[in-house]
């Protein structure tokens, strides 16, 4: 096997490697957005409770977000090509198995397997790109990787809607299997093996405690709408999550080669990049799941129409990230990203005024505003993330950044789903109480209007749609507030620092941080 110090190659020889990683990356946003459109079809075929249906999306995000750091570190130690190929192949196999799922529970487990495999593919692939490209070439390569995500988000709903309408919901998993199989073929032929020669071992205990903390927290938040926040089950899950989170911090502070180097959080720009990575979760990503559920389940559109409607939200991702790169050459990336989040908040407040069934022109304009706003930070995040750690720790860097982004998205989905169910329950409290109300609210929040009506026979369709619309309006206003706070944080950490400036510690660095600085020289 070649070591980290493998000989450089011409740019033309590196392009197939970039293509392989981008193909794998394209499957990730498609796997995220497509099941949201297919949720009603999945329920019709497989049935399932509201909680089980929520896990169709959250299982993927949980598996993806909880394993990115672990696979980033594992790729540095065992070889980036090896981990990339194993991840993409496992993703393709899990996707094919999902087409044969006979129950929602089995589909949930397969979605978790997809997420874990996707984490291996993305973190190892990003680490491999960091070894192949340097300087401006690396920035362009990671910008293209980010643009690939944008293409997947923009075109995913359109493609998924067409596939579901003509071939059924199982066809979306066939599509992801095809993409990742092509990535395996290209990676096998063109990618070379690289690893970090300083990597001595794998932080198994850190990986286990982090995954346990994130999984338990997600379970608690998703269980809260049906069991209540004060239930013994939810309280126990939250307490256990806190214990594992504390254990993770202790482990990472003591292990010789941690999965997450805590000393990096002494650097203001590194912290700022992590806040930036998490910002799109509440401002944009949750809408990729909530809006298709609303369009199909509440407003009664077919999947093709819903996919076309979602294009208004995601189409700006095809262009705006390129504009962001142009702007970042003339002003601070933090200013560009923060301004984009403020634009996004304006779009959220605009969308809050669009009740279900009203004029589509205002709806499309509000969605396009959100897409334009989020496209500015989206085009800069990956390039910024790579610039804040030494090259030989690229696997860890990719893992930390993408873990913050994806884990933040998973937590955001769980929190927002619980919040929407609670807001819907508050609107429907006049029709029922207790477990019946929670069941009806959960079904309505997931777009199951017929199921909610069966639980609330005294209600009618118009009253349930109106209650859902009011709950959705309040939710969007809350998300806009979170987005504004995120913009202020990004301005504070990244707005005044030139993008080319070296990392400066806020305090005297720890010995481990000093070693990192030495490697960066």
379, 322 in Cβ contact below 8 A?
Answer: yes
Give residue for tokens 């997600």: 218
Sequence-distant (≥ 6) Cβ neighbours of residue 430 within 8 angstroms: none
Sequence-distant (≥ 6) Cβ neighbours of residue 243 within 8 angstroms: none
Q: Please tell me the predicted confidence (pLDDT) of residue 413.
A: 84
Q: Is residue 305 part of a domain?
A: yes
Pick from 383, 380, 386, 388: nearest CA to 503: 388
Section 394-414 average pLDDT = 72
- What rounded mean pLDDT belongs to the chain? 82
Pick from 132, 155, 256, 180: nearest CA to 27: 180
At 500 the three-state DSSP class reads coil
Q: Is residue 156 part of a domain?
A: yes
120, 398 in Cβ contact below 8 A?
Answer: no
Q: Using one digit for the tens of pLDDT, what is the confidence trace for 162-197? A: 888 889 999 999 999 999 999 999 988 888 888 777
Q: Please tell me the predicted confidence (pLDDT) of residue 94.
A: 94
Q: Using one digit for the tens of pLDDT, what is the confidence trace for 432-481? A: 888 788 888 888 888 888 888 888 888 888 899 999 999 999 999 999 99
Residue 18: pLDDT over 70: yes
Instruction: Give the count of beta carbons closer than 10 Å to the beta carbon of residue 514.
Output: 13
Pick from 323, 431, 305, 326: nearest CA to 373: 323
Q: Is residue 211 part of a domain?
A: no
Q: Please tell me the predicted confidence (pLDDT) of residue 343.
A: 96
Q: Using one digit for the tens of pLDDT, what is the confidence trace for 88-118? A: 999 999 999 999 998 999 999 999 999 999 9
Section 388-397 average pLDDT = 55
Percent of the chain predicted with pLDDT > 90: 24
| Cα distances (Å, whole numbers) of residue 330 to 292, 327, 334, 336, 454 | 37, 5, 12, 10, 58
Q: Please tell me the predicted confidence (pLDDT) of residue 200.
A: 61
Query: Helices (DSSP H) in 133-254: which residue ranges?
Result: 135-167, 171-190, 204-227, 232-254
Phi, psi of 16, rounded to the nearest 5 degrees: -60, -30
The CATH number that applies at residue 122 is 1.20.1250.20
Residue 509: pLDDT over 80: no
d(CA 56, CA 61): 9
405, 277 in Cβ contact below 8 A?
Answer: yes
DSSP state string for 302-358: -HHHHHHHHHHHHGGGGTHHHHHHHHHTTS-HHHHHHHHHHHHHHHHHHHHT--TTS
Q: Using one digit for the tens of pLDDT, what is the confidence trace for 285-323? A: 899 889 998 998 899 888 888 888 998 998 888 888 888
Q: Is residue 478 part of a domain?
A: yes
Q: Please tell me the predicted confidence (pLDDT) of residue 199.
A: 62
Sequence-distant (≥ 6) Cβ neighbours of residue 370 within 8 angstroms: 283, 284, 287, 313, 344, 347, 348, 351
Give the CA dihedral 290, 229, 213, 130, nearest 10 degrees.
20
Nearest 5°: the CA angle 64, 67, 68 is 80
Q: Is residue 7 part of a domain?
A: no
d(CA 324, CA 183): 28
Q: Please tell me the predicted confidence (pLDDT) of residue 97.
A: 94
Q: Is residue 465 part of a domain?
A: yes
pLDDT band at 7 (very low <50, low <70, confident <90, very high): very low
β-bridge partners, 362? none
- Domain with 308, as residue range(s), is 13-196+257-498+512-520
Q: Is residue 314 part of a domain?
A: yes
**How many domains would you assign to the chain?**
1
Q: Which long-range contacts (CB under 8 A, 24 or more apart) does 444-447 make?
A: 444/298, 444/468, 445/50, 445/225, 445/417, 445/420, 445/421, 445/471, 446/39, 446/50, 446/53, 446/54, 446/293, 446/297, 447/39, 447/40, 447/293, 447/294, 447/296, 447/297, 447/298
Q: Is residue 306 part of a domain?
A: yes
């Amino acid at each position: 096997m070649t070591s980290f110090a493998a000989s450089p190659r011409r740019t033309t020889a590196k392009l197939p490697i970039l293509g392989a990683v981008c193909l794998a990356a394209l499957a990730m946003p498609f796997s995220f957005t497509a099941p949201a459109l297919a949720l009603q079809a999945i329920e019709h075929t497989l049935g399932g409770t509201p909680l089980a249906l929520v896990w169709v999306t959250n299982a993927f995000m949980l598996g993806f977000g909880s394993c990115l750091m672990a696979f980033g570190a594992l790729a540095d130690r065992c070889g980036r090509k090896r981990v990339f190929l194993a991840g993409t192949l496992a993703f393709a196999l899990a996707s094919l198995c999902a087409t044969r799922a006979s129950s929602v529970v089995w589909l949930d487990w397969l979605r978790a397997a997809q997420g874990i495999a996707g984490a291996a593919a993305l973190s190892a692939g990003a680490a491999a790109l960091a070894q192949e490209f340097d300087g401006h070439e690396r920035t362009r390569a990671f910008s293209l990787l980010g643009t690939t995500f944008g293409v997947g988000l923009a075109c995913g709903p359109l493609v998924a809607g067409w596939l579901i309408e003509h071939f059924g919901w199982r066809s979306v998993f066939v599509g992801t299997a095809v993409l990742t199989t092509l990535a395996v073929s290209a990676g096998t032929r063109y990618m070379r093996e690289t690893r970090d020669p300083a990597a001595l071992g794998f932080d198994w205990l850190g990986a286990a405690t982090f995954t346990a903390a994130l999984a338990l927290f997600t379970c608690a938040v998703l269980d809260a709408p049906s069991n209540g926040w004060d239930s013994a089950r939810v309280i126990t899950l939250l307490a256990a999550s806190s214990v594992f989170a504390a254990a993770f911090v202790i482990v990472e502070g003591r292990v010789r080669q941690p999965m997450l180097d805590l000393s990096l959080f002494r650097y203001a720009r590194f912290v700022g990049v992590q806040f930036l990575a998490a910002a799109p979760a509440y401002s944009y990503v949750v809408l990729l799941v909530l809006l298709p559920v609303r369009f199909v389940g509440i407003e009664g559109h077919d999947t093709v129409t819903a996919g076309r409607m979602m294009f208004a939200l995601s189409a700006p991702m095809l262009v705006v990230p390129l504009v962001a790169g142009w702007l970042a050459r003339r002003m601070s990336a933090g200013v560009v990203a923060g301004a984009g989040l403020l634009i996004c908040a304006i779009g959220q407040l605009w969308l809050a005024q669009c009740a279900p069934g009203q004029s589509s022109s205002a709806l499309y304009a509000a969605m396009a505003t959100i897409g334009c706003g989020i496209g500015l930070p989206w085009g800069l995040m990956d390039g910024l993330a790579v610039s804040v750690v030494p090259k030989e720790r690229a696997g860890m860097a990719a893992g930390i950044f993408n873990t913050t982004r994806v884990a933040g998205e998973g937590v955001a989905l769980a929190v927002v789903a619980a919040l929407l169910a609670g807001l819907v329950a508050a609107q429907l409290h006049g029709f029922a109480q207790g477990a019946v109300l929670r069941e009806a609210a959960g079904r309505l929040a997931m777009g199951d209007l017929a199921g909610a009506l069966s639980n609330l026979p005294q209600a009618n369709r118009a009253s349930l749609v109106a209650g859902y619309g009011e709950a959705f309006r309040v939710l969007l206003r809350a998300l806009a507030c979170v987005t504004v706070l995120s913009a202020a944080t990004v301005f504070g950490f990244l707005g005044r620092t030139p993008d080319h400036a070296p990392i400066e510690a806020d305090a005297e660095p720890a010995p481990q941080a000093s070693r990192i600085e030495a490697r960066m020289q």
